[in-house]
Chains A and B, each alone.
Chain A
Amino acid sequence: MKDKIRHAWKLLRRRPASLVGFGLIAFFFAVAAAAPLIAPPEKNSRDAYLIPQDGYSPDPVRPSAKHLFGTTEQQYDLYYGMVWGTRTAFRVAVVVVASSLTVGILIGGAAGFYGGWVDELMMRFTDIVLAFPDLILAVVIVTVTKPSLSNVMLSVAAVSWPSYARLLRGDVLSIKERDFVSAARALGASDFRILSRHIIPNCIYPLLVVASLSMGRIVITAAALSFLGLGAPVGYADWGQLISLSRNWLLGSNGNPFEYWHTVFIPGFAIFFFVLGWNLLGDAVRDILDPRQK
């Protein structure tokens, strides 16, 4: 294990881009972990994810000593929202990727391994889901199920699994013809063992690379849903939500287009760097997981 970590670190160091990605994600992770310390919730708050309000004035207020990143409309504290929103971003990304990966592996793995009508049935279903534009289908699912953060995660997972299933099925089809799979069968291994020990480990890595790349994309989709008002309730710490609060202030005021810049730029850049971090890390993940790179 120690060797593996050292090896991963060595590969990471060799590529500065991966290092930047790693640094970005590490930074966001640290912020998320330290949220109660660097942005302590108010004493009487019911839910730490609810952003404290400083008055009810509709106009955003610029950054000041009291509000480090300023406030959005209705005086939600942007700094607090950003810090706790990091946790939301990680939670959405991890939950969605884990659940869509699980569904994708089950469906793609079974389809590729068993072939025949199982394959036909599962892949045509996958095609149907893929035929809808991602965002539209997600919007429909959230609207039908009632807007909330967990339904956003559900809907994004529901549109994300088909690409994993497709990718895995193709790899399973090619791997299952390899001699070591025949050898395992000749040894009397069960289907489950052949799939879990021989086939999946040999085609999971492209999937994990795609997964780490889609961590970022998922956050964007979730933010888009929040921006459309389908995500977390107003005042919940979520980056997409914070951008949606800036919707009316994108153009600034007459003669000063950047008057309310902080309401757009701060959550916007956070999402940008979060996605960038995962994308850069995705490449590194590929290198680290490939044993031939040793």
Chain B
Amino acid sequence: MSNQPILEVKGLKKHFSVKKGMFGAQGVVRAVDGVSFSVMPQESFAVVGESGCGKTTLGRLILALETATEGSVAFEGRDLYKLSNAELRKTRRDLQVIFQDPYSSLNPRMTVQQIIEEPLIIHDAYSGPGQRAKRIDYLLDVCGISQSHLTRFPHEFSGGQRQRVGIARALALNPKLVVADEPVSALDVSIQAQILNLLKDLQREFKLTYVFISHDFSVVRHLCDRIAVMYLGKVVELAKSETLFDDPQHPYTEALLSAVPIPDPSIEKRRKRILLSGDVPSPLKPPSGCHFHPRCRYAQDSCRTTPPSLEESKTAHWTACPINPFKEKPSQAALIEI
């Protein structure tokens, strides 16, 4: 592993303006509001958060499918937003995406063959005689799709099979970075495991770097090296996977982790859940100070006024909570009343 990050996100912001009513004032939704992190080659980096926290927008920004309001996304040291259209399109072969909904991510009018072949045509790759067919064969093989499915249309498949086709399309050009936007959340649990294992195998085979977007900690734990937790457009905690699970430093992470079931009935019975009161606040009118303070059980007066910044609270463990309620007690143990 080299020390150069493959992906560097700096101060990324995406604000959407929303009109309220016909003559209403313009509101601004800060979908992504100052996010910075970097991802090393062949690392699996997870972005976790509730729906509406801006994680999907973040994924689209990384892929340059949206333009940022502010900030930069550098892929292998080059700012994607400063590339010309032609350069950007060339760079895209290294930068691929797997979508959440396998029903809308495949063109219903194209056969599986056409879908997997399209990236090769666009970038004129594997253009020698017979090479394309060979490449497609290989992709089918590694993604676990049967040869006989090539002439079929997406609607003839189940969700899991479709997701395999979507993965084969993403890998067709040997990308370096794959943004996986909730790749398994639309699937059955049994299929989820299959696809996650497939993604893990493919990472080894293709030397991939993943940015894995999810709302589900148990999915992420299985696959990822580092995890960033997002709340209302901001990263509130960023740490190595094990440390985040063992020793969450942010109250929001603590609450999210307490909602993850433990696969052991005797411990599960004693698991104490921290119920967050209320919903995610409207991103149109986020709370002052720390966005999380209205739902935080450790909130103090200062939380209402001062927006926290992401600080290194332990080595390689970044938290946006100046209160730091877990300084003394290791939290996971405290969650289980014995």
Could you list which residues of chain A lie within 8 angstroms of chain B, going by C-beta atoms? 178-180, 182-190, 193, 197-198, 201-202, 291-292
Assembled-state Cα–Cα distance A269/B88 (Å)? 61
Residue of B with least CB distance to A189: B122
Q: Is B307 an interface residue (CB 8 A)?
A: no
Q: Is B293 an interface residue (CB 8 A)?
A: no
Q: Which residues of B contact A186 (CB under 8 A)?
A: 63, 65, 92, 95-97
Residue of B with least CB distance to A186: B97
In the complex, which residues 77-108 of chain B have their Cβ closer than 8 Å to any Cβ of chain A?
A: 88-90, 92-93, 95-97, 99-101, 104-108
Q: Is B222 an interface residue (CB 8 A)?
A: no
Q: Which residues of A contact B95 (CB under 8 A)?
A: 186
Residue of B with least CB distance to A201: B109
B65 contacts A202, C-beta separation under 8 Å: no
What 10 A-B pairs have minimum CB-CB distances, sorted nearest first? Answer: A188-B92, A179-B105, A188-B89, A179-B99, A201-B109, A180-B107, A179-B104, A186-B97, A187-B119, A178-B104
B106 contacts A189, C-beta separation under 8 Å: no
Q: Which residues of B contact A185 (CB under 8 A)?
A: 65
Residue of A with least CB distance to B100: A179
Q: Which residues of A contact B108 (CB under 8 A)?
A: 202, 291-292
**Cβ 8 A contact of A184, one of B63, B88, B118, B123:** B118
Q: Which residues of A contact B92 (CB under 8 A)?
A: 186-188
Residue of A with least CB distance to B98: A183
Q: Which residues of A contact B97 (CB under 8 A)?
A: 182-183, 186
A180 contacts B105, C-beta separation under 8 Å: yes
Q: Which residues of A contact B15 (CB under 8 A)?
A: none
B155 contacts A292, C-beta separation under 8 Å: yes
Q: Is B215 an interface residue (CB 8 A)?
A: no
Assembled-state Cα–Cα distance A187/B92 (Å)? 6
A182 contacts B109, C-beta separation under 8 Å: no
Residue of A with least CB distance to B172: A187
A183-B166 contact in complex given A178-B104, A189-B118, A292-B155, C-beta closer than 8 Å: yes
17 additional A-B residue pairs with CB within 8 Å, beyond A183-B169, A202-B107, A292-B155: A179-B99, A180-B107, A186-B63, A186-B92, A187-B92, A187-B96, A187-B173, A188-B90, A188-B119, A188-B122, A189-B122, A190-B122, A197-B107, A198-B107, A291-B109, A291-B153, A292-B108
Q: Is B207 an interface residue (CB 8 A)?
A: no
In the complex, which residues 95-137 of chain B have their Cβ closer than 8 Å to any Cβ of chain A?
A: 95-97, 99-101, 104-110, 118-119, 122-123
A180-B106 contact in complex given A186-B92, A188-B92, A291-B155, C-beta closer than 8 Å: yes
B118 contacts A182, C-beta separation under 8 Å: no
Q: Which residues of B contact A184 (CB under 8 A)?
A: 107, 118
Chain A to chain B contacts (Cβ below 8 Å), 6 pairs: A187-B122, A187-B173, A189-B118, A190-B122, A197-B118, A291-B155
B65 contacts A182, C-beta separation under 8 Å: yes
Assembled-state Cα–Cα distance A187/B172 (Å)? 10
Residue of A with least CB distance to B154: A180
Q: Is B273 an interface residue (CB 8 A)?
A: no
Q: Which residues of A contact B89 (CB under 8 A)?
A: 188, 190
The number of chain B residues touching the other chain, given as a range, is 20 to 34
Q: Which residues of A contact B155 (CB under 8 A)?
A: 291-292
Q: Is B60 an interface residue (CB 8 A)?
A: yes
Q: Which residues of A contact B166 (CB under 8 A)?
A: 183
Q: Which residues of A contact B173 (CB under 8 A)?
A: 187
Assembled-state Cα–Cα distance A182/B100 (Å)? 12
**Cβ 8 A contact of A180, one of B63, B104, B119:** B104
Assembled-state Cα–Cα distance A186/B165 (Å)? 16
Assembled-state Cα–Cα distance A71/B51 (Å)? 76
Q: Chain B 159-172, CB within 8 Å of chain A: the 1/0 string?
A: 00000001001000
Q: Which of the listed residues A178, A180, A184, A291 has the most CB atoms from chain B within 10 Å of its own CB?
A: A180
Q: Which residues of B contact A292 (CB under 8 A)?
A: 108, 155
Q: Which residues of B contact A189 (CB under 8 A)?
A: 118, 122
Q: Which residues of B contact A202 (CB under 8 A)?
A: 107-109
A179 contacts B93, C-beta separation under 8 Å: no
> Nearest Cβ in chain B — how far from A290, in angstroms?
10
Q: Which residues of A contact B96 (CB under 8 A)?
A: 186-187
Residue of A with least CB distance to B60: A182
Q: Which residues of B contact A193 (CB under 8 A)?
A: 122
> Nearest Cβ in chain A — how far from B255, in angstroms?
31
Assembled-state Cα–Cα distance A184/B123 (Å)? 12
**Cβ 8 A contact of A187, one of B99, B106, B110, B118:** B118
Assembled-state Cα–Cα distance A180/B98 (Å)? 10
Assembled-state Cα–Cα distance A182/B99 (Å)? 9
Q: Which residues of B contact A197 (CB under 8 A)?
A: 107, 110, 118
Assembled-state Cα–Cα distance A197/B114 (Å)? 11
Q: Which residues of B contact A179 (CB under 8 A)?
A: 99-101, 104-105
Assembled-state Cα–Cα distance A189/B89 (Å)? 7
A188 contacts B123, C-beta separation under 8 Å: yes
Q: Which residues of B contact A198 (CB under 8 A)?
A: 107
